[in-house]
Structure 1
Amino acid sequence: MMNKILFAFLIFSLLLIWSCNNAEREISQPSDSETKKMVSYGDAIVYELVKTLKTAVKTTIDTAGPVAAISVCNIEAMPLTKKVKDEAPRDVSIKRTSYQFRNPANEPDDLESMALDHYMSLIETGEEIPPFYAQKIVEGEITYYNYYKPMKMENLCLLCHGDAATIPPNVQAKLHELYPNDKATGYKEGDFRGLIRVRFNKL
């Protein structure tokens, strides 16, 4: 009898843990006023991030060459992103994400996959992609907002992200050394690269 009670208690405990870990999550379109705030703050944050990263990469390419610039993306990109985050006017987190990621830290989660799928479905049907995508997420008593901006491949980045046949051998060797499972090559200028996600913990 005692064993049956213990077994029942164990099953109940496991179900309780599963229930807590899979709390209902509601994903919806933000209101017009919420969207307006997200666009205002999000665009400014994305602009600052892109400017910061592009300046660092271009400066290094001009002074030390493309192989050295790989280290900017490998070592400096995360600290530079954190700097932009810390200086943002709202409590945010920032991430660049894509299905063709180079750094495993940029692999999309399920919410980011929803946004990527939205853009990719439009691209596949030849439709114009929107300037942003927004989500309002409610998990229990916690509410946060994800704001996404599309990234397009620029000519500067093709040195490391272009067709493998055109990437210099020394650059390819360094990429293989740092990113043995690299998925982020084969692009042409103007291709959809992925998304910059700005998560607002509070608007």
Structure 2
Amino acid sequence: MMSPRETHTWLPLAAAALLLILAPQCSHAEEPIYRLCVPQIYLAECQQLLADPSEAGIRMECVAGRDRVDCLELIEQRKADVLATEPEDMYIAYHRKNEDYRVISEIRTQQDKDASFRYEGIILVKKDSPIRTLQQLRGAKSCHTGFGRNVGYKIPITKLKNTHILKVSADPQISATERELKSLSEFFAQSCLVGTYSTHP
């Protein structure tokens, strides 16, 4: 949603994100130029994306911030008007003193714009493997992209728990994370699970 004095526009960026916007600086006689803030590392891509103004349907220019949090600060200082955010950025914005942030749209990639998910996780087994069901994963060797990662850890583990194939202990003597890892170690014969090194046994 934009401010009452603005007309509604949709920004066709190929990203699954939410946008925050403030009124751009312009006179009523001029066509507004919206300043899109992106992290410095994406500035070149932003400029390439907006090289043809007709693609966006509105006039835009790229502004670089150190990161997404810095972009929030640039918006507060009226040095930028709009940015693509992740949920955690919206949480930060909600707790800032500035109250004129506005969420104007949730957008997705053109390929998945009608999907009910942002991305999916899969369980991949060898073609000649006898494993055909989730239940048959018990006792197998598993490899995950990293501890706490969405696709390689959270999605498959949640799937196994929701189908009651992976049963997590309710042992109050250990933490919830330790209970989950203990259940995984008992479910799979061996696992590769990247995480932060710890000397804790």
TM-score range, shorter chain: under 0.3
TM-score scaled by length of structure 1? 0.23
TM-score scaled by length of structure 2? 0.24
Structure number, greater radius of gyration: 2
